[in-house]
């Protein structure tokens, strides 16, 4: 079995080999702002997450620290694949990762894919995390507060708790926070 540093290097080589200018250009249109990215399409990331999931929590943490957009997304995807093994460790890493979110794509991958396997078993902990981030000075953490609870919009009994998170962010000065508000409200209106 490869060491974690060897796995990170192997992944980086694969990302470099699969990077292409068209994908990078598409990412830059899709994810505005300064983008530190390889330019690798999502199917490659999904395949890499499955291939390297045995690296688990340690690999996810190391990939996150590596810092490129695809490495962060891969960290979040791997975290989701191993979340059930140790939900508390998953939530701990999400808390660590939240500080380094720098675009909506990474934010949403963490908020949806990393927690999806534990949404039914760790609802209280996920809501507590969302409440913590709801008033953060970091606008990506405020967005994350809503993305973390997006899955729960399917459950009418949780709508009041979710609306308590949405309300203070309705007039947020940050565009990407308001977009999350619209997304959650749209889910309510669709009943999903």
Domain parsing of the chain, residue ranges: 1-101, 119-192
Confidence of residue 84 (pLDDT cuts 50, 70, 90): very high
Compute the distance between CA of residue 28 and CA of residue 106 in angstroms, rounded to an integer: 13
Q: How far apart are CA 192 and CA 43, in angstroms?
A: 26
Q: What is the mean pLDDT of residues 41-47?
A: 96
- Residues 138-142, mean pLDDT to the nearest whole number: 97
Residue 73 confidence (pLDDT): 97
Residue 27: what pLDDT?
Answer: 87
Q: Using a pLDDT cut of 70, give the percent of the chain over it.
A: 99
Backbone phi, psi, residue 74, to 5°: -65, -40
The alpha carbon torsion through 57, 61, 63, 69 (nearest 10 deg) reads 110
Say what the pLDDT of residue 160 is: 97
pLDDT in tens, 92-123: 999 999 999 999 999 999 999 999 999 999 99
- Confidence band for 192, pLDDT divided at 50, 70 and 90: low
Q: Which two tokens stand for residue 83?
A: 């979340």
Q: What is the pTM of this model?
A: 0.94
User: In the predicted model, is pLDDT for residue 30 greater than 90?
Assistant: no
Q: How far is the CA of 108 from the CAs of 28, 73, 94, 130, 131, in angstroms?
A: 17, 9, 12, 13, 17
What average pLDDT does this structure show over 8-35? 90
| Rounded Cα–Cα distance for residues 51 and 54 (Å) | 8
Give the pLDDT confidence score for residue 162 in this predicted structure. 98
Distance CA 187, CA 60 (A): 30
pLDDT of residue 55 exceeding 80, the answer is: yes
């Amino acid at each position: 079995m490869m060491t974690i540093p060897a796995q990170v290097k192997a992944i980086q080589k694969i990302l470099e080999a699969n990077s292409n200018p068209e994908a990078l250009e598409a990412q830059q249109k899709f994810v505005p702002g300064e983008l530190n990215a390889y330019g690798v399409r999502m199917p490659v990331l999904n395949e890499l997450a499955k291939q390297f999931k045995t690296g688990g929590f340690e690999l996810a943490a190391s990939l996150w620290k590596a810092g490129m957009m695809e490495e962060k997304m891969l960290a979040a995807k791997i975290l989701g694949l191993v979340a059930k093994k140790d939900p508390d460790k998953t939530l701990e890493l999400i808390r660590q990762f939240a500080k380094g979110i720098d675009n909506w794509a990474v934010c949403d991958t963490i908020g949806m894919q990393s927690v999806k396997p534990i949404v039914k078993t760790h609802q209280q902990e996920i809501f507590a995390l969302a409440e913590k981030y709801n008033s953060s000075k970091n606008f990506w953490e405020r967005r994350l507060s809503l993305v973390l609870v997006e899955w729960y919009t399917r459950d009418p009994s949780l709508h009041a708790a979710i609306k308590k998170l949405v309300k203070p962010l309705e007039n947020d000065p940050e565009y990407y926070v308001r977009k999350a508000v619209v997304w959650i409200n749209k889910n309510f209106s669709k009943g999903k």
